Chain A
């Protein structure tokens, strides 16, 4: 009798617990839907006025009320690609060193250092980029690039123009430093999970450390690695403050990586506070919607890729 009462009570507690967790989970979806609806509602006037030319137009003129988001879109994608090109190889190196090669006593300091990098606020990266990194780039790195790479065919076009110190390349560099700890942490974790038996078997067959990392650890953990890269990419796409300081904030597209440009989030951060007029405000909302869609597309693409990879692995096994 007593036992059944207790069981009943526990069953009730259990159902309350379930409903509570379900509500928490649904709250996320509700919030997401709310954000999306607000963005669509806010950006409607601009989208109705400009239609597709909002995405394909290059002009962004608050005086004439003409808004095209191609420049911020290009800037967002270009800086993120530069950041990934720099951060992914370095993260890979750090993660391999930490899991396979690093002596135990050095592991702690390096890991802590990476975690500290992740906790630096983005405004600090922005100010550091503007006051420390930009002058170095302007006086040493960029003149060298212009003289030595500028005259080359095709590639040279990326390194022409005056050395301002700030621009797409600088923004990409700062972003690379910012996303490095995230990608490194994920890579390190998934590399560590690679089964010891596989690695030992490979070493037993006479494989070198490089062979083991490249042919055993990496294939085994590739979905995790892609997930880590996507985490970094997501952060790079949306980063605001640091980029605003070092990108040069110009609504112009030029072939050179040394030229100033702008990103979606930087444009919103720069202009929202002083935006007067319905169409202007709406165009900034539409930029937000564009970033939402872009980020969503990237994450969805990554999921799809990972699902396909996982299925492939299962089938082979």
Chain B
């Protein structure tokens, strides 16, 4: 065989592979954004592909990236842990809705303290992260836990160094309950922390907390549960003390007033209800109201509808919290009302 024919075969082969990939990716639903819901989206996509043959190409590049990508219209949907405000949505012709719920859990490493032993409220947690409370036997922590044996140990606050939805929820909650945290730090995916050390990702914060005696950190619920971390119970807006459990996150989502929230702009921190976990948040999907390619949008909406209907168990397996049913109804109503092509709704209930 001559060299030339080998080359030719190689080129033909490469073209064939490229062509096959091109066909495969053209049929895929394309999305980009938040890293927090990535595990559950990919699990849903796997099951959905088996069922329907339609794949999902989701790039977990971060919420900021997801917003940039959907605004540049390079993907069919964007995903963000931080909702866009109604004005921003309207200006860009976008619509958004919550897809899945998660929560943030404070965890500690204090000698003699096990999971759920201690309770804390928002203002005290804010004071710790502002450096105003620096010892575990501080009077304010003692007042909340009269029975606990608290050591004379310095508190080492640990925070997420990478910009993340977890940071946003945590700082949003602390800003809501503590005016001084609001003015000194504020709420964002990255903030200027006055004290403490930054660790990368949930695994970094978990590891740093477990290594450092006296540490307090905050991580996603799924991560805290899977690693058996010593979590704190928290006092919620109703003044009740709750433990971080799936039911508590769902309660926060169910008690929130979605109907009055324009563009589903609702951050589920400090929600009313006796059972609500105070640091809860939804992860959002963002799409165009009048998509250029209605078929692509329909494919994506079909996937989301399937996930709402059939994905709850898969979500629970991964310790995510599925959206309450009444919120799902509201979301589907919004699809019909808002996403249109040629004046007709892209998605019709079946």
A residues bordering B, Cβ < 8 Å? 59-64, 130-131, 134-135, 138, 162, 164-167, 244-245, 248-251, 260, 262, 269-276
Choose among A61, A131, A269 the residue that contacts B207 (Cβ–Cβ < 8 A): A131
B11-66 at interface with A (beta carbon < 8 Å): 35, 61-65
* Contact, CB under 8 Å: B212 / A164: yes
* Contact, CB under 8 Å: A250 / B198: yes
B189-236 at interface with A (beta carbon < 8 Å): 189-193, 196-200, 204, 207-208, 211-212
* Contact, CB under 8 Å: B200 / A273: no
* Contact, CB under 8 Å: A274 / B163: yes
Query: With an 8 A cutoff between CB atoms, is B186 at the interface?
Result: yes
Q: Which residues of A contact B64 (CB under 8 A)?
A: 273-276
* Contact, CB under 8 Å: A61 / B63: no
Given contacts A62-B190, A63-B185, A162-B156, contact A273 B163 (CB under 8 A): yes
Query: With an 8 A cutoff between CB atoms, is B67 at the interface?
Result: yes
* Contact, CB under 8 Å: B164 / A249: no
Q: A249-B199, A273-B35 are in contact. List 14 more A-B contacts (CB 8 A).
A: A61-B186, A62-B192, A164-B197, A166-B197, A245-B204, A248-B198, A248-B199, A250-B197, A270-B190, A271-B163, A274-B62, A274-B162, A274-B164, A274-B189
Least CB distance from A251 to B in Å reads 6
Q: Complex: how many Å from CA A2 to CA B188? A: 78
* Contact, CB under 8 Å: A164 / B191: no
Q: Complex: how many Å from CA A63 to CA B193? A: 11
* Contact, CB under 8 Å: A62 / B62: no
Which bucket holds chain B's interface residue count?
20 to 34
- In chain B, what residue has the closest Cβ to A260? B197
Least CB distance from A183 to B in Å reads 27
Q: Which of B62, B156, B165, B192 has the most chain A CB atoms closer than 10 A to its own CB?
A: B192
Q: Which residues of A contact B197 (CB under 8 A)?
A: 164, 166-167, 248-250, 260
* Contact, CB under 8 Å: B207 / A273: no
Count contacts between A and B, CB distance < 8 Å: 99
* Contact, CB under 8 Å: B200 / A245: yes
Q: Which residues of A contact B196 (CB under 8 A)?
A: 250
**What are 25 A-to-B residue pairs whose CB atoms are below 8 Å?**
A62-B190, A63-B186, A63-B187, A63-B191, A64-B186, A130-B207, A134-B211, A162-B154, A166-B197, A245-B204, A248-B198, A249-B162, A249-B197, A249-B199, A260-B197, A262-B161, A273-B35, A273-B162, A273-B163, A274-B162, A274-B164, A274-B165, A275-B189, A276-B63, A276-B82
Choose among A63, A131, A134, A250 the residue that contacts B188 (Cβ–Cβ < 8 A): A63
Given contacts A59-B192, A63-B191, A249-B198, contact A271 B208 (CB under 8 A): no
- In chain A, what residue has the closest Cβ to B154? A162
Least CB distance from A156 to B in Å reads 20
- In chain B, what residue has the closest Cβ to A251? B192
* Contact, CB under 8 Å: A271 / B211: no
Q: Which of B63, B65, B161, B193 has the most chain A CB atoms closer than 10 A to its own CB?
A: B161
Q: Complex: how many Å from CA A137 to CA B161? A: 21
Given contacts A63-B185, A138-B211, contact A273 B191 (CB under 8 A): no
Q: Complex: how many Å from CA A60 to CA B194? A: 11
Given contacts A130-B204, A162-B154, contact A275 B161 (CB under 8 A): no
Given contacts A162-B156, A270-B162, A275-B163, contact A62 B188 (CB under 8 A): yes
Q: Which residues of B contact A250 (CB under 8 A)?
A: 161, 193, 196-198
Q: Complex: how many Å from CA A226 to CA B189? A: 42
Q: Complex: how many Å from CA A233 to CA B59? A: 34
Q: Complex: how many Å from CA A190 to CA B80? A: 54
- In chain B, what residue has the closest Cβ to A64? B186
Q: Complex: how many Å from CA A166 to CA B158? A: 12
Q: Which residues of A contact B211 (CB under 8 A)?
A: 134-135, 138, 165
Question: Which 10 pairs from chain A and chain B are nearest by CB?
Answer: A274-B163, A273-B62, A249-B161, A249-B198, A63-B186, A61-B192, A274-B189, A274-B64, A260-B197, A248-B197
* Contact, CB under 8 Å: A271 / B190: yes
Q: Which residues of B contact A167 (CB under 8 A)?
A: 197
- In chain A, what residue has the closest Cβ to B171? A63
Q: Complex: how many Å from CA A272 to CA B161? A: 12
